[in-house]
Amino acid sequence: MSGLIGKKVGMTSIFDENGKNLPCTVIQAGPCVVTQVRTEEVDGYSALQLGFDDKAEKRANKSELGHSKKAGTSPKKKVVEFKGFEGEFKLGDTIGVDLFKEGEFVDVIGTSKGKGFQGVVKRHGFAGVGQATHGQHNRLRAPGSIGAGSDPSRVFKGMRMAGRMGGERVTVQNLKVLKVVPEKNLIVVKGCVPGHNNAYITIEK
């Protein structure tokens, strides 16, 4: 699907026409530069490769410098391919936030915040077993049994246990576009999107 690369600015809330307070996320979407045009004849599929956020030339390697030079732009920190763009685009074209319109729905893809090593209550939503009294010592947030002893005498693959949480690719679907501010390259979507503030995200139509 067509879309843009953006950066999460942060969360806020706005009132709709009925006076309802809506939680929303502000995203800086674009401007993105076309750094490569994929075609059916050459690549076997059609897509646009977009670059976002300038990178200092001294921090770019030779292949990045050559790639961006072909498009007549500076090296980019984030590069993503998008399929389904309508219209003709060529190297060096700029696509802005006016790609989106208020009232339409978008999907947002990002990397969730890393939580580190977490227990089963936070990681999987376990209730915790037992009561706090009746001689119980420290088993309030314990996972309980993870399998029988004599048969099958092993722990099944995929058993929900404590472990590393977060830091994964997450897609949030059908977020409504509440506001588009073209002069500042900002888009406001209803609800929350994955990642910390200033994290790179992808917005797809």
The per-residue pLDDT for range 107-128, each reduced to its tens digit, is 999 999 999 999 999 999 998 7
pLDDT at 105: 94
pTM of the model: 0.83
For residues 87 and 180, state if they share a domain.
yes
The per-residue pLDDT for range 137-165, each reduced to its tens digit, is 778 888 888 999 999 999 999 999 999 99
For residues 57 and 95, state if they share a domain.
yes
For residues 10 and 64, state if they share a domain.
yes
Sequence-separated (6 or more) residues with CB below 8 Å from residue 148: none
Judge whether residue 104 has pLDDT over 90: yes
Judge whether residue 201 has pLDDT over 80: yes
For residues 92 and 187, state if they share a domain.
yes
Please report, rounded to a whole number, the percentage of residues in the chain having pLDDT higher than 70.
Answer: 100
**Which residues span the domain enclosing 34?**
3-116+168-204
CA atoms of 34 and 32, how far apart (whole Å) = 7
For residues 128 and 105, state if they share a domain.
no
Judge whether residue 55 has pLDDT over 80: yes
What phi-psi label fits residue 113: left (phi over 0), alpha (psi between -120 and 50 degrees) or beta? beta
Please report, rounded to a whole number, the percentage of residues in the chain having pLDDT higher than 90.
Answer: 50
For residues 111 and 128, state if they share a domain.
no
For residues 32 and 108, state if they share a domain.
yes
Sequence-separated (6 or more) residues with CB below 8 Å from residue 19: none
For residues 91 and 177, state if they share a domain.
yes
Q: How many domains does the chain have?
A: 2
For residues 69 and 131, state if they share a domain.
no
For residues 8 and 95, state if they share a domain.
yes
For residues 112 and 185, state if they share a domain.
yes
